[in-house]
Structure 1
């Protein structure tokens, strides 16, 4: 008993603030797929992304100006490549959500958890621990069961392929961010703001290239702006600040695993808010995700190099 207790005390720790914040991101992102589909009723993909990230950048601008005046952002240009990757993620993700179901999108985007483990090995030359790998596979199995249909089949359409590409890019995003900002003079606020500016700029340029002037007009629906306010505050400002903060504190695979639990919270949101029901298989899937999240949060991580 003493031996078991000593091992447990070495490996387990209280849930830190970083993990709790990542789980909050998963909760917000779990509700974002349906809201994004609703917002796209009123505008195009390019305009939607441009508005969302322009507002995000403007909200962050006062803090960024303060950070620059304090001399904290000497290496701010390292954020530009990560902003380019983030723009690709959102183009694929939003376009994919527009052409597929929310459940398919939730499952496919969660595969970024697996891709991140491989990306860490290739990009950062780091192999994650066996415990984290096992929890990664457990989470993916849980998501598959949670989002399974009665027929049990998963047929990939055009939208699904874009979501799958977004999952690969998500893995690259967190891994690349870890690599480029490590030891650099740039605040998390500025990192988030520069990324948002890059995404908004690319979206605006593409909108003017591929769309007519009438298609670029601002939506006048109150529903659209209420949805946009929620997405900007909770799913963009808060979420990407936390992601950038967490990547600097822990491994990309751990970050992806905790944020990859978003389908669980999406399903719980559907049950409580939309009065949907879950089958026994889906409840088992949710339980597996919950188990992997708890173990990942409590397990003291040792990254193998």
Structure 2
């Protein structure tokens, strides 16, 4: 017979894990609003350059304090994945600058259903018919959300976010394929990815838009706080919470809790960002959330050999937006 005190203690620990994972999902859901407040079309690359540089510096300092050594394999794979991730950030952040925070947060969630489809094409693995139905529901939701039922109103920003979702699915699939069967440290891999992104955006910002030095020289306190929020709350904090939580609870539970990100993106977009949704838009939100979350649950029931976006927390999910 179990000790009631031990059961209460275990339940309390589980609730703490759940609360922190939900906090990560809320933070990721808020990035679309914060990023939209921070960027304009000509400062996207500069903002990304500053964010990635600060993130890489923070992770690098942690690596030094933890006395971790970077392996050649981690550096090589991290550079490749970093180039893919920089593509995700580019599409996504330019998209955020041109569409609403709600649209951005919900359209990017299509990664959840795109990645298993990509894995099926690469790994020749069959998906259930129900999964494809969930994917169709999610895509239909994006159509109603972004267009209000009128195809001509699908904006350029929405298209960029859709491309970001595709690139994110490629990044997730590549992460699994490149790291499968290898002993790779998640912190080392994330550091190399962020450092690669930082280098890409520092160079790109000199070729287009406002250069990083000019941008940082004109930052006010509001922009500095928003940048700190994106680096610490939306990137560094989630990474370590995932590393800790995946050892305290099941990967499935981690995936499902982090999978609430689009819910929070929609809530924050409407309440804080001031996005206005008509009846058709609200219908679209419901379809996106229903399709992606149903698809995620179906994929979590797939054989253990499958690797998809919804299972990314097992490898530690690299935040975007």
Same fold at TM > 0.5? yes
State the alpha-carbon separation in 1 of the partners of residues 120 and 211 from structure 2. 45
**Match runs of 1:124-163 below 5 Å:** 124-129=123-128, 132-140=131-139, 147=145, 151-154=148-151, 155-163=153-161
CA deviations on 1:245-303 (whole Å, 9 max, x unpaired) are 999x969xx96x87564332122224554687876662794487269648829964425
Unaligned runs of 5+ in 2: 1-13, 307-321
Unaligned runs of 5+ in 1: 1-14
User: Kindly tell me: are residues 292 and 196 of structure 1, through their superposed partners in 2, closer, same or farther at Cα, counting changes over 3 Å?
Assistant: closer
- The size of the alignment, in residue pairs, is 285
Q: CA deviation at 1:100?
A: 2.2
**Match runs of 1:1-305 below 5 Å:** 24-41=23-40, 44-65=43-64, 69-71=67-69, 73=71, 75-77=73-75, 78-129=77-128, 132-140=131-139, 147=145, 151-154=148-151, 155-211=153-209, 216-218=214-216, 219-239=218-238, 261-270=260-269, 272-273=271-272, 282=282, 285-286=285-286, 289=289, 293=293, 296=297, 300-303=301-304
Secondary structure of the equivalent of 2:150?
coil
- Relative to the length of structure 1, the TM-score reads 0.73
Q: CA deviation at 1:172?
A: 0.5
Q: CA deviation at 1:225?
A: 1.1
Let me know the Cα RMSD of the aligned residues: 4.2
Counterpart for residue 7 of structure 1: none
CA deviations on 1:107-141 (whole Å, 9 max, x unpaired) are 33222223212211233444445565555455555
CA deviations on 1:213-234 (whole Å, 9 max, x unpaired) are 6973413311111111111122
Q: CA deviation at 1:153?
A: 2.7
User: Kindly tell me: are residues 48 and 285 of structure 1, through their superposed partners in 2, closer, same or farther at Cα, counting changes over 3 Å?
Assistant: closer
